[in-house]
Amino acid sequence: MDIRGVIFDLDGTLLDTLEDLADAANASLAHFGFPGHATNAYKYFVGDGLSILIGRILPETNRSQAEITACMDIFLQIYGKQWDAKSKPYAGILEMLQQLRAAGLQLGILSNKPHAFTQLCVQRYFGADTFSCIYGQREGTPKKPDPAAALEIAALMHLQPREIAYVGDTSTDMRTGIQAGMLTIGVLWGFRDREELEKNKANRIVSHPSEIFSHVHSQR
């Protein structure tokens, strides 16, 4: 298998965004008089898109579509002011990306984070030229684990799915990569654990970003 491109998840894979997400979500709940959640609990709330996140954190008796929409609107206002207050790349990520680019691989991002915030995060922490394609959750495009957006990125890279590694930290990411026909690499520094990655048939599991380069380079 000749790997010529890598698609990354964003939150929990490249960026540690947990505290900013939790702070904004808890502030949104407080706005409506609801209790918040522990920061670590958000490791299991996030990953499947904003509407799912809000539905998970609201009290069970307050999860109508109207209430989810209202809370989403407040979340977007709050997160829009503090999305980069505490977020940062995980240790070793910048060096790993530099290695992959130097080796001539194409890099992309596919996140279930709203598209505008995905773009902001990438520009803020990685610059404009690191990734050839950056997609967050977009209107009219199915969220992960639907493979449609991953395959769209593959087409834009002019690569076959089998020539791409998909890297992420959750079951959603592993399912996305598998359904797209890509090599899947699960990371252990993110929001989920080895058991979840193994259960969802990750082809490789890594504990440090440098291992991503090693696995991908060995497939060239």
Q: Where are the domains of the chain?
A: 5-16+87-218, 18-82
pLDDT tens-digit series, residues 18-57: 999 999 999 999 999 999 999 999 999 999 999 999 999 9
87/21 Cα distance (integer angstroms): 9
Spatial contact of 185 and 204, defined as CB atoms under 8 Å apart: yes
> Could you tell me which CATH number the domain at 5-16+87-218 has?
3.40.50.1000
pLDDT at res. 215: 87
Nearest to 189 by CA among 93, 79, 105, 62: 93
pLDDT at res. 1: 63
The answer regarding whether domain 18-82 maps to CATH 2.40.160 reads: no
Tokens representing residue 217 in the block? 């380079």
135/128 Cα distance (integer angstroms): 13
pLDDT at res. 128: 83
In what helix (H) or strand (E) does residue 118 lie, and over which residues does it extend? Answer: helix 115-126
pLDDT at res. 217: 77
Residue ranges for the chain with pLDDT beneath 70:
1, 220
Task: Return the beta strands (E) in the chain as ranges.
Answer: 5-8, 15-16, 88-89, 106-114, 133-137, 164-168, 183-187, 204-206
